[in-house]
Amino acid sequence: MSETKKEDAGDTAAATVPAQAASPEDREVLLKVEGLVKHFPIKKGLLQRQVAAVKAVDGIDFEVRKGETLGVVGESGCGKSTMGRVITKLIEPTAGKIEFEGQDITRLGTGGMRPLRRDIQMIFQDPYGSLNPRHTIGSIVSAPFRLQGVEPEGGVKKEVQRLLELVGLSPEHFNRYPHEFSGGQRQRIGIARALALKPKLVVADEPVSALDVSIQAQVVNLMDDLQSELGLTYVIIAHDLSVVRHVSDRIAVMYLGKVVELADRTSLYEAPMHPYTKALMSAVPVPDPKRRGAKSERILLKGDVPSPISPPSGCRFHTRCWKATEICKTVEPPLLQLAPGRQVACHHPENAEDQAPGDTKLLAVAKEAIEVVTLARTDADDAPDEPAAEPAQALVQASAEASVEKPAKASAEESAETPEAAVDAGDDSDVQPSDDAGDADGTDDVQESSGS
Ligand SMILES: Nc1ncnc2c1ncn2[C@@H]1O[C@H](COP(=O)(O)OP(=O)(O)OP(=O)(O)O)[C@@H](O)[C@H]1O
């Protein structure tokens, strides 16, 4: 989270980033992921033969530089959490390579990972399930020291109390139990535990989605301040696009186990290149109060997200894309750099040169792929008389040029009555992923692996 972000958000925290003052591209690479794959086998029968696999992460590449925040977004089930668990080595990858500070950690076992556990920590979504209710806060936050056999200067208790203060809690909370704390306070405890060993990389999986909106801002600001103070590098997984926009330097957009676009946050929000990103971004609320009452349009993706067990051929998004042509169905687009610092996996990107200009005949599915919803003004008097938002205009124009029927428009009332439409468009306020057992497991893994 850079200084720029703080300015953008009007954040009052006066933190600076001395260690990471260089431009993001000049910073050293901390984490590098190449061709990362995680398939969960599906077994059947007496012999438990593998009959298929859930392709949760299916070949992704990215880098995270020191001091930056990489946001990871995408619809529920696209593999974000799995990716987070694999890069922190809570689960083993099926294939691919993970490098941390230049060291290949892909095949390191528990013993090999032990020294690195200090450097790579995870913050979990569920502040209730991730803290052992039978342990005191002191015991929870000091667990990493015990497990790693580390004796901090001044003693464990003093250091834990310092950490509690660092995350905005009182040192007197040392002897209390998790049930005595609110969700926001519990998340602070989880953050204190993650920071105990002064990690270099913190992977936060939906760190604020289980919290009230007012508390979300506090926790996001806390993470922001801690990054500046401690020079942390974050990978923040979230499906709330407003949160991701606030916290990230760069953003990776995932769809069905693949990264489809990777760009700095300003370019991504202002001129998305992948149609999927464009649809997601059209659902982000406009923070400018002057434009609050203005007309806006949303691109609603129709149809369900396909199963990760047998993802669509070619481009995985082609079954829901209004630009899909034959090549999209048959050839998987590689993740290419289409502009400085921007990688996109699309044959027919927006805001960039067409990668397959000869292939113009739209697939039948493209004509039905989206719905453009115009949201009515809420305050006509204050609102400037603006034209409709650019994405939908461009879409309609593109559709007209390609002799496609203009997508049907629905009223705001209609859209509000269609919950799946909001989900499809990435309106995350309506989508709260349930905390699966994996979260609890993951936490235990961290505690165990920290010390094992
Ligand atoms: N342990 C597992 N065994 C089998 N399938 C799994 C397992 N963990 C995740 N999956 C499947 O992998 C896919 C990706 O799941 P994942 O939790 O990584 O997605 P996500 O993008 O983080 O979703 P959400 O935002 O809902 O948390 C899903 O289809 C999920 O059902």
CATH number at residue 69: 3.40.50.300
Residue 273 lies in a domain: no
Residue-wise pLDDT tens digits, 72-126: 999 989 999 999 999 999 999 999 999 999 999 999 988 899 889 899 999 988 8
Give the ipTM.
Answer: 0.98
Residue 265 lies in a domain: no
Residue whose CB lies within 8 A of the most ligand 1 atoms, among 36, 81, 239, for a mutation test: 81
Residues 198, 111 share a domain: yes
Residues 165, 223 share a domain: yes
Residues 303, 223 share a domain: no
Angstrom distance (rounded) from CA 37 to CA 27: 26
Nearest protein CA to atom 25 of ligand 1, as residue: 76
- The CA-CA-CA angle for residues 114, 117, 122, to 5°, reads 150
Nearest protein CA to atom 26 of ligand 1, as residue: 76
- Overall domain count for the chain: 2
Residues 285, 245 share a domain: no
* CA–centroid distance, residue 446 to ligand 1 (Å): 19
* CA–centroid distance, residue 36 to ligand 1 (Å): 15
Residue whose CB lies within 8 A of the most ligand 1 atoms, among 54, 125, 241, for a mutation test: 54
Residue 271 lies in a domain: no
Which atom of ligand 1 lies nearest, measured to the CA of 91?
Answer: 1
Residue 437 lies in a domain: no
Residue 26 pLDDT grade (very low, low, confident, very high; cuts 50, 70, 90): confident
- Pocket around ligand 1: residues whose beta carbon is below 6 Å from it? 40, 54, 56, 74, 76-82, 239, 308, 433, 438
Angstrom distance (rounded) from CA 168 to CA 218: 10
Nearest protein CA to atom 12 of ligand 1, as residue: 56
Residues 164, 286 share a domain: no
**How far are the Cα atoms of 225, 319, 380, 389, 410 from residue 278, in angstroms, in the given order?**
30, 16, 26, 12, 19
Residues 302, 245 share a domain: no
Nearest protein CA to atom 11 of ligand 1, as residue: 56
Residues 250, 284 share a domain: no
* CA–centroid distance, residue 128 to ligand 1 (Å): 20
Residue 347 lies in a domain: yes
Give me the torsion for CA of 395, 401, 402, 404, rounded to 10°.
70
Under 8 Å CB-to-CB from 185, ≥6 apart: which residues?
169
Residues 202, 64 share a domain: yes
Q: What is the mean pLDDT of residues 281-300?
A: 71
Is a pLDDT exceeding 60 seen at residue 405? Answer: no
Is a pLDDT exceeding 80 seen at residue 401? Answer: no
Residues 283, 155 share a domain: no
Domain membership of residue 411 as a residue range:
279-430
Residues 322, 221 share a domain: no
Residue-wise pLDDT tens digits, 140-183: 999 999 988 888 888 999 999 999 998 989 999 999 999 999 98
Residues 412, 375 share a domain: yes
